[in-house]
Structure 1
């Protein structure tokens, strides 16, 4: 089932179809045919491709006279799926046959491993024909660390944060993307933030949380998603405090139980031995000392 992150990336191209030919030209250095318009036309494939073959999106590029000059099949791929090596050639041949124009597959693959897999040449048989998808992955998507550059191309900044957010410059890349989100409406900013957040691994999430809590990003009106992240951090701190309090309570209970058992056994503790008991924060050690009281006659035997 498609995830929110998958759907959000598809919607990025649905709402801004001009991104596809723009990135083909600027990132892949492909010579895109001159065109006057780019339109989403995936619904026209309903009668062309069997139900098991459904592309995420299909775009049509038309020239000033309305003639089709190129079709782009958009596929968002977050995992390796062997079936795609059979469906992608189907998309190309069916769309090309119907529309009588050149057709390419553009795969959006934020994960480096998935991107390498997706970019493999697909041999159609006996080396007599092939389909080679264009893959927008970490090797192609630039690391955007300049907030001003990110604001110019917010969607590319989002892809940059997803592709490079866990890398050496990850925090800087994510910060630039968050600045770019500040110029979008609240709904899109929140969705894109969730896409970025979902792609971050635990160390980078903690770093981003620390950044927010240090108030380096302060304008919650401009950055509505920061409020959500701040609340998330506060809740985590509360839970951590509750767990710490529960653990401390259990430790204190075991220390008290040990001291009562020692008193009942008539075993006296020196000041240093009592301090050692009070300073112990290891549950297993306290349990062992409690067990040692039975049959012991000295504190040394208990605290061994």
Structure 2
């Protein structure tokens, strides 16, 4: 029950809303001068359920036995409605669990990521009641995994990095490194993270590139064929048998992906004796939509030895 002294103070503010601004001006804070006041219900209990769900909530246990809560949200665009929800999440979780709370916001767009970094304020500028500053992970601060070895050392981080950089112009190369790096893990783990990657890429064009890559069995990215072309693809003087095998590899990828290979394309690939060129076509065969795209930017006709 509110005491009489508290009741009196509340009524002062109700009677003369200007006293709010005048009082705080004495403390050096300048708030906007109110021109009216409306008495609002003081009961903040919600009589109807209002569903509020954070994307992911984790209890991170620490060595001292305390721990903290980590709320994770994904944000694709700027939204004026999200910061108030984030403030609610943090306040509710802290009040319910009595643990420190951190909010991580993941973005695939740099402009959205910088917006999500805040700070967002609840209250008036001279003295914000709450200042919300989420931890943001996006293309501006998540590094690109540069090598297959880095993928193998930390597959989850590599997958997160690839998803974060889904809009990068270099996404095909990033995904190719990811696919090749999955050779270092067992098939079950690789399958799980393959699916995570597809889900994370969503409706971006990168998802189509990944799906086309994954029409090849994962074991193919582990195969000696793939490694041999990268290791020996530009060496000269290799036997005709190796050249023929490289030709077969390029055509096999296209066929396994269900891409129609016209007779002119087949003849041009079969006529090539340059392992370096076959290496380049091998890489392109993983992502092209048509067989003819293998030769984009190149002069017409077979490649001479």
TM-score for both structures, normalised by structure 1 = 0.49
TM-score for both structures, normalised by structure 2 = 0.49
